Amino acid sequence: MNSGSSRYLEIDVLRTLAIFSMVFVHFCENLAGVTPPFTGFGAPLFAFLSGASYHLWRSAQERRGRAESEIAKATIRRGLFLLGLGFAFNIFVWLPEDTFNWDVLSFLGVAWMSLELVRRWPLPVLAFAALVIYALSPVARGIADYPAYWTAGYFDPDLCLSDVLLGALVTGYFPLLPWIVYPWVGYAIGSTLFGTAERAGSARLAQRSGTALVVVAGTLLFLQQRWPALLPRGARDAWTMFPPSLAYVAGSLGLAMLVLAWLPRVLPNGDHRTARTLQLVARTFSRHALTLYLLHHVVHLWPLWIAAGLDGEEPTAYWRAASSTPAAGLLAACFLIASYAGLRWMDRHGRRGIEDLMRWLCD
C-alpha cells in the first residue's frame, strides 16, 4: 500500500486485470460466439477480491468509530442493493426471461450479506466450512440434476419456485455452491494479509495455501485425464466454469491467492513515472469496476437487441453471430480506452457512478 493512501495497489491491479479479462471475454463470446482461452479467470478474481475488500471496508468503518450495529446494517443494505441491481441487470440489460439467471451481481449481493455472519467465525472454522462446501458442491449438482438445466448450453430454468431456489443454490450461473467459497476465502486472506503487522508471514501462508490448491487442481486434472475411474463421479469434470469443477475452483482460487500475495514484490513503488501511471490506471478502473460491469454489457448487448428488433427478428437473432473474433476484440479494446477517458473525466468533474449511488444509499 502506498503511503498516504488507504487503497492497496495489488487489489486495484488485480481488479483491473479482472475487468480487462471480463470485457474481452464478453465481447468475444456475445458478439463473435468465441470463447477466449483466458475465459473463467475474471469472475473468480472478482468474487475473491470482494471478500478481501469487505475486510478493508469494515476495518475503515471501525476506524471511523461506527457502531457494530450500524456497520451490520450497512452491510445488509449493500448486499440487498447488489442483489436488486442483479435482478434489474438481468431484466433490462439482458432480457426479462433472464430475471432469475443468478448472475454474478445477484451472487455478490448474497455473498456480501453472508460475510457479516462468517466474519465472526474463527479462521479455522471458516476454512473448514469453505472446504465442506467445496467438496459437497458436485454432490449437490448431481442431486439437483445440473445438466437438465443446461440442455441448450446455457442456464434455462422454468419460472417456478423450486427452479429459482435451485438456481440460486446449485444450478445457476453463479450459485452459492460452490461460488461462496471465493469471497469467504478472500475475506480470510484479506484479514491476514491486511489485518496484521506481520505482513511477510501472512504472505507466506497465503502463498503456501495457494500453491497447495494449485497442486490439488493439477492432480485432479492429471487423474481425470489418466485414471478417471479413481475419482468420485462428481470429481471427474475437467477444467470447466459451468459447472465449476473441483479442479477449476481449486486452481482459480489458488492462483488468486498466489498473485495477491506475490504482487507487492513486483509492483513498482516510489514516485517515478511508471509507478504513478500504473497507480492511476489501476485505481481508475478498480474504483469504477461496478459501473464498468454494467456499462460494457449495455454497450455491446443493447445494439444486438435493437438491431434484431428493427429487422423484425427474435431479440437474440444476432447474439454470438454479430461480428468476427478480431472485430470483437478490437471493439473491446476501444471500449476500455474510451472508458478510461470517460472515467478520468468523471473523476475530474466530480461525476458519480453506480458505486457512489450504493455508498449514498447504503452507508
Angle at which helices 325-348 and 9-27 cross, to 10°: 140
pTM of the prediction? Answer: 0.94
| Position 1 in a domain | no
Q: Classify residue 233 by its DSSP letter.
A: G
Domain-embedded: residue 13: yes
pLDDT band at 120 (very low <50, low <70, confident <90, very high): very high
pLDDT band at 231 (very low <50, low <70, confident <90, very high): confident
The residue-averaged pLDDT of 218-244 equals 85
Span 45-59, mean pLDDT? 96
Question: For cell 449481493, what's the residue?
Answer: 109
Handedness of CA 124, 264, 18, 51 (dihedral sign): positive
Q: Is residue 133 part of a domain?
A: yes
Cis peptide upstream of residue 178 (ω within 30 degrees of 0): yes
- pLDDT value for 3: 36
- Among all chains, which residue has been given the C-alpha cell 428488433? 309
The answer to the question of residue 313 being in a domain is yes
What band does 196 get if pLDDT is binned at 50, 70 and 90?
A: low
Residue 26 covered by a domain:
yes
Q: Hey, CA dihedral for 276, 281, 284, 286, is it positive or negative?
A: negative
Cβ-based neighbours of 315, under 8 Å, separated by 6 or more: 95, 304, 305, 308, 309
In a domain, residue 4? The reply is no
> Does pLDDT of 269 surpass 90?
no
Cell readout for 56 is: 478493508
Residue 2 lies inside a defined structural domain of this protein: no
pLDDT interval class at 202 (50, 70, 90): confident
Q: Which domain holds residue 305?
A: 9-362
Structure confidence at residue 226 (pLDDT): 86
How many structural domains is the chain composed of? 1
| The C-alpha cell that represents 144 in the structure block | 439437483
3-state secondary structure 105-150: HHHHHHHHHHHHHHCCCCHHHHHHHHHHHHHHHHHHHHHHCHHHHC
pLDDT value of residue 198 = 60
**Helix (DSSP H) and strand (DSSP E) numbers for the chain:** 14, 0
Q: What's the one-letter identity of residue 196?
A: T
Tell me whether residue 303 is in a domain.
Answer: yes
Average pLDDT in the 346-352 region? 91
Q: How confident is the model at residue 5 (pLDDT cuts 50, 70, 90)?
A: very low
Examine the pLDDT at 165 and tell me if it is beyond 60.
yes
CB contact at 8 A, 299 and 260? no
Average pLDDT of span 88-105: 94
Residue 39 has pLDDT above 70, yes or no: yes
Which pLDDT does position 307 carry in this prediction?
97
Q: How far apart are CA 152 and CA 273, in angstroms?
A: 50
